[in-house]
Structure 1
């Protein structure tokens, strides 16, 4: 995203819907970093990163060639003298760590998923930073409940502004679901996405979460909050076409509709077929002779050459 911002800054006369021809399928509003950050400091920050890249011996890219051919090509054009090593997805190269609390949460999440039918569950997690207000939280809860789709929802402490955990939920909400929903404070995301019961992922569209979903062949509903997440969401929905980009107001009927589009309608089945194709390419790129494996060998040779 920083590379995109450095190469393109919207002018005052461009509308938010104006396509960014250098970076299809993005629009101006998908990269509106300056809307929420001080312009001078943003340019200083991006310039400092650019300077560090130009002074570096190489750039490690947490992605793989088949997923981001265009972005890698632009990076090569901009940094002609700097070798670039797309060796991802990095999370596939090392197991996730877990402590005692996470182990308990892991057991609860996975044991609940074990009771569900294949591809029937929508997994919901908005990352470790985002906070939402109580009204949006309730709209999400009712939208998910009304969809009639089983769900595993990570509500971390602090997710809801002014609440410790799930206190804004109406009394008896979980009991009303009759076992169709499971709300936890933490879940082992990689393990959850790999579980055969999970058929969709409602995500904040952070890059790690996006990659993890692609690696397990799980279509997404994208709910971005930060500028880089908006770029990721747009690529998920309009370039790779493996999910929906939630540009609507958080309202229960829209939420219900989006979940059903991904989980039970033909549109969702088409997304699943496309993301399974991307998953197959991930599996191949990490094998000996695959693009990421080759990039890793080049990286090792590059380091040893100094």
Structure 2
């Protein structure tokens, strides 16, 4: 096959939070399924460094990674606002991707035949249309979140400024499958459309119906009403997850000895605590969380990355070292799969929720931003596989009550049964003839065909 005929799938990453890694995992799965297709992965230099320090890219001959400009002015001093870096990046798009892609096409002679991009980067819709190739949007969160974004205009029409206190308890029962969601659960990017980031997501909500397919790290049956509604509005919805399952469990990089330590603990007794890569609870909540673990004498494994706050808990870690372990990083998939883990204390990001479902471990949720509040509501009120922390923040008494409920009471046993049912649903989806397996085959066909339907 000549270079002109070679299928060339171009992936554009949104370089923040947990977004780049699921996109890369999807590219790797596609590259393994279509070894004669060339894949290019575009991301910022900083994010590429972070992602590829944990990925074995060298085993894929048909994937190449490229850096795009991040939009940061030379020598810029950050204010501490986490959205600042995102806004500089948004300001650089789409020209940074367009320019770099033109360079790579010139160098390799390989024209793009499909754009496979983070759904946030909705400018890809117009770029793909200009080139006469399909756009496949990858949504890294769950079906509830993408559905909520698709209804942004209707939500504003019905609730007005949902940020107003008098509207906080109102439910979204006027949307399919959303009766459990409250106005207070909505992401700020849906509530207020006055920032570059919120405008980016609003633009996305209007662009997704033009995508050849919208791919989710989810599985059929997790939210049937929402899934059916999405399918009625989008050209093709492909649940191809949960991402940990279609591939074998990766070999553990357990330099901190988490798994060997867990093997010394009783079955379903350990609280595993992790709040993702981007945030740490505020100091008073960290202290309350530690106090509750100490009072209840709960064995714990705590993945604690924020060195600026670890001194707050040094005394706690020393006093409880006989029944607890703190590490900078834990192999989360393997940790959750370990029989001694009884509860996952989490920010309720979508990847963490899905990984907990796959492992069959109930959750205690302390959401912070984005889709996390909606995920918590699904966990507690719809699926009944966990509980949100009382009042939305960690307090000593509230956390002690949540630990007691999940680990020792009858309700916790029911949560384990419920999450076991969802786990079975996920396992069926990734079986040989399961829905996620079939959807992935459809994705391979859409992404690697040289011509748009």
- Same fold flag (TM > 0.5): yes
On the 8 A contact 1:147/1:257 being kept in 2, the answer is no
Unmatched tracts of structure 2, length 5 or more: 1-144
| Structure 2 equivalent of residue 104 of structure 1 | 255
Q: Cα gap change, 1:98/1:155 in structure 2, threshold over 3 Å: closer, same or farther?
A: farther
Q: Which moved more, 1:7-16 or 1:25-34?
A: 7-16
Instruction: Point out which structure has higher relative CO (alpha carbons under 8 A, 6+ apart).
Output: 1
Deviation, 1:174, is 3.1
SS class of match (2:371) = helix
Q: Runs of 4+ in structure 1 displaced over 3 angstroms?
A: 34-38, 40-43, 94-99, 301-306
Q: Does 1:146 align with 2:290?
A: no
C-alpha separation in 1, matches of 2:318 and 2:279: 27
Alignment equivalent of 2:394, drawn from 240, 243, 250: 250
C-alpha separation in 1, matches of 2:194 and 2:295: 43
| Structure 1 equivalent of residue 236 of structure 2 | 83
Alignment equivalent of 2:415, drawn from 271, 289, 300: 271
| Structure 2 equivalent of residue 230 of structure 1 | 373
C-alpha separation in 2, matches of 1:127 and 1:87: 22
C-alpha separation in 2, matches of 1:50 and 1:96: 34
C-alpha separation in 2, matches of 1:57 and 1:34: 25
Select the structure of larger CA radius of gyration.
2
Alignment equivalent of 2:212, drawn from 22, 37, 57: 57
Q: How does 1:109-148 map to 2 (within 5 A)?
A: 109-148=258-297
Q: Cα gap change, 1:18/1:37 in structure 2, threshold over 3 Å: closer, same or farther?
A: closer
Q: Cα gap change, 1:150/1:97 in structure 2, threshold over 3 Å: closer, same or farther?
A: same
Q: Which moved more, 1:65-74 or 1:5-14?
A: 5-14
Unmatched tracts of structure 1, length 5 or more: none
| Structure 2 equivalent of residue 16 of structure 1 | 168
SS class of match (2:404) = helix
| Structure 1 equivalent of residue 355 of structure 2 | 212
Give TM-score scaled by structure 1 length: 0.88
| Structure 2 equivalent of residue 6 of structure 1 | 150
Alignment equivalent of 2:186, drawn from 31, 56, 73: 31
Q: Does 1:294 align with 2:438?
A: yes
Deviation, 1:247, is 4.2
On the 8 A contact 1:86/1:292 being kept in 2, the answer is yes
Deviation, 1:215, is 0.5
Q: Does 1:174 align with 2:327?
A: no
Q: Cα gap change, 1:36/1:109 in structure 2, threshold over 3 Å: closer, same or farther?
A: farther
Q: Does 1:92 align with 2:229?
A: no
On the 8 A contact 1:2/1:46 being kept in 2, the answer is no
On the 8 A contact 1:6/1:46 being kept in 2, the answer is no
Q: Cα gap change, 1:304/1:135 in structure 2, threshold over 3 Å: closer, same or farther?
A: closer
Deviation, 1:52, is 3.8
Deviation, 1:3, is 3.0
On the 8 A contact 1:207/1:229 being kept in 2, the answer is yes
Give TM-score scaled by structure 2 length: 0.61
On the 8 A contact 1:125/1:155 being kept in 2, the answer is yes
Measured on the aligned residues, the alpha-carbon RMSD in Å equals 2.3
Q: Cα gap change, 1:96/1:52 in structure 2, threshold over 3 Å: closer, same or farther?
A: farther
Q: Cα gap change, 1:98/1:132 in structure 2, threshold over 3 Å: closer, same or farther?
A: farther
Deviation, 1:213, is 0.1
Q: Which moved more, 1:84-93 or 1:175-184?
A: 175-184
C-alpha separation in 2, matches of 1:136 and 1:303: 45
| Structure 2 equivalent of residue 157 of structure 1 | 306
Deviation, 1:93, is 2.6
| Structure 1 equivalent of residue 32 of structure 2 | none
On the 8 A contact 1:5/1:31 being kept in 2, the answer is no
